[in-house]
Amino acid sequence: MRKLLLLFLTVIFLPGILISQETGQETSVTLSGYVRYELFFDTYESVDTRDGEVYLYPLSENLDINGNDINKNFQINMLGLQARPRITAVGPNAFGAKITGVLEGDFLGVSQADVRMLRLRHGFLNLKWESSELLLGHTWHPMFVAECFPATVSMGAGVPFHVLNRAPQARYTVNLGNTMSVMGAILIHGYHKSSGPADAQRNSGLPDMQFQFKLKTDYIFSSFTAGYKFLTPRLETIDGVKTNETIGSFNVAANTKLTFNPVTIKVEGIYGQNLTNFVMIGGYGATEAPTGPTRVDDYEYTNINTMSVWSDVAFNFDFLEVAVFGGYSSNLGATGDYYSLTTPTQTYTRGEDIQYIFRVSPRVIVKSGKTDFGLEYMVTGAAYGTLDAINPEYAFTDTDKPTINSRMIFSARYKF
């Protein structure tokens, strides 16, 4: 593997290094990243992916003829999928800007079907001028604010209470003095797509558009993000008639990080429609019956509204971190009539029958040099409900007692 990585570095960067030497400009290339081992236990069958690496929430109760819950089952797994190589190249300057290029991958694949395969996490170039910068490429969606996210031991940074999305994009940032900045971005969702047909955003002909404001001082960081996306789920109806019905949905988020050594407090609130591209609960359906005797062939679409709040409080020392994460997310239903579009082969939602989910996860991380050991106890609950089958409004006629999964995870990481 090491030989392959060195060969990859040589093929990619040797021509650029030679050109820089000929022009008298310098290019620096650095290799960094980490390798990580994980061992975890679960007490309840759950919705997850990548062999359990990306954990969401427990399944609903599933009773056998004797009243025993089939999903109540002890599980164990051991993984090393988070090994991350990262290549960073700086210079030579161009267009009066400092140039940085980043290429980073891991071995989670882009779906469960190709887990353990190398995938692109970040691949972008950034041009930085004195008071502005332009980023082009694949990196965090603006809703994932790198300055303020849950630093959990478990992979996913608090997903599905916090967003998880990387996407191809073009973003331009303008600094307003030393403490504030504004940013505008256009994005295509890449492998973090909304639930439903995979080409829905591409068929709309419109990118995801995001705006962001940041404020940063010595002790306080805050940001506000708002955006809008469009989906055209199908180009032809069941009856073979051309259609261009498109659904739009918005997202907003506000967060704050307070840093008073050794304490760091992070809080965030998220609200939006069809947040499934962020690996959160929600989705969309039809405003009229898509099947049955009263079906409408060329129906319109309606969003499921979702809210989420989370907080992460950490006490950081040179050799030790003690912290706790807490999150809550609720399915707020749709505005007006809602008919599910989900079929045995295609889902348009995530957690369509979930009313709310919650999580509490304390953690301890012991650090020594570039190595750390982490231990986290994660309790996640999901309250499932029964949707009203008579009235078209998205409403629960009753809600079951939440199912609970307890996960204990141990990790060991070496950064280089």
Domain ranges for the chain: 35-85+115-415
In the predicted model, what is the mean pLDDT of residues 22-36?
A: 82
The phi and psi torsions of 145 (rounded to 5 degrees) equal: -90, 115
Of the pLDDT bands very low, low, confident and very high (cuts 50, 70, 90), residue 362 is very high
Model confidence at 206, pLDDT cuts 50, 70, 90, reads very high
| DSSP at 199 | T
The per-residue pLDDT for range 41-55, each reduced to its tens digit, is: 999 999 999 999 999
295 compared with 270, residue with greater pLDDT: 270
In degrees, to the nearest 5, what angle opens at C-alpha 244 toward C-alphas 167 and 270? 40
Q: What number is the average pLDDT over the span 378-389?
A: 91
Tokens 């002790």 correspond to 219
Residues 61, 309, 216: CA angle, nearest 5 degrees: 150
Mean pLDDT confidence for 345-374: 96
According to the model, what pLDDT value does residue 256 have? 98
Residue 185 has pLDDT above 70, yes or no: yes
pLDDT, tens digit, for every residue of 118-136?
999 999 999 999 999 999 9
Query: For the chain, first and last CA: distance in Å?
Result: 16
Half-sphere exposure in the Cβ direction for 17 (13 Å, CA): 10
- Kindly give, in sequence order, each residue whose CB lies less than 8 Å from that of residue 52, ignoring residues fewer than 6 positions away: 40, 42, 46, 75, 77, 79
Domain 35-85+115-415 CATH class label: mainly beta
Q: Are 48 and 56 in contact (CB under 8 A)?
A: yes
Phi, psi (5° rounding) for residue 394? -75, 100
Q: Which of 7-16, 92-101, 297-306, 331-340 has the lowest mean pLDDT?
A: 7-16
Range with lowest mean pLDDT among 3-12, 190-199, 330-339, 341-350: 3-12
* DSSP secondary structure of 123-147: EEEEEE-SSEEEEEEEEE-TTS-TT
CA distance 267 to 313: 9
pLDDT, averaged across the chain? 92
Tell me the DSSP string of 365-394: EEEETTEEEEEEEEEEEEEEEEEPSSSSB-
Residues 223, 215: Cα–Cα separation, whole Å? 6
Q: Residue 80: is its pLDDT beyond 70?
A: yes
Token code pair at residue 323: 């912290």
Higher pLDDT, 286 or 25: 286
Q: Which residues pair with 368 in a beta bridge?
A: 371
**Residue of 327, 284, 334 whose CA lies nearest to 308:** 327
Beta-carbon count within 10 A of 9 CB: 15
Cβ atoms of 341 and 287 closer than 8 Å: no
d(CA 223, CA 405): 32
Q: Evaluate if residue 153 carries a pLDDT over 90.
A: yes
pLDDT tens by residue, 346-357: 999 999 999 999
Secondary structure letter of residue 114 according to DSSP: G
Q: Are 72 and 100 within 8 A, CB to CB?
A: no
Q: What angle do CA 31, 33, 35 make, to 5 degrees?
A: 130
What span, in angstroms and rounded, lies between the C-alpha atoms of 183 and 175? 9
Residue 26 pLDDT: 83
| pLDDT on residue 294 | 84
Confidence (pLDDT) at 25: 65
Beta bridge partners of 206: none
Give the Å distances, CA to CA, from 8 to 14, 27, 28, 208, 219.
10, 17, 16, 33, 41
For tokens 């779906």, the residue is: 111
Instruction: Tell me what pLDDT residue 286 has.
Output: 95
For residues 199 and 232, give the distance between their C-alpha atoms in angstroms, rounded to a whole number: 8
**CA distance linking residue 132 with residue 126, whole number of Å:** 11
Interval 157-168 mean pLDDT:
97
Least confident range of 23-37, 63-77, 167-181, 229-243: 23-37
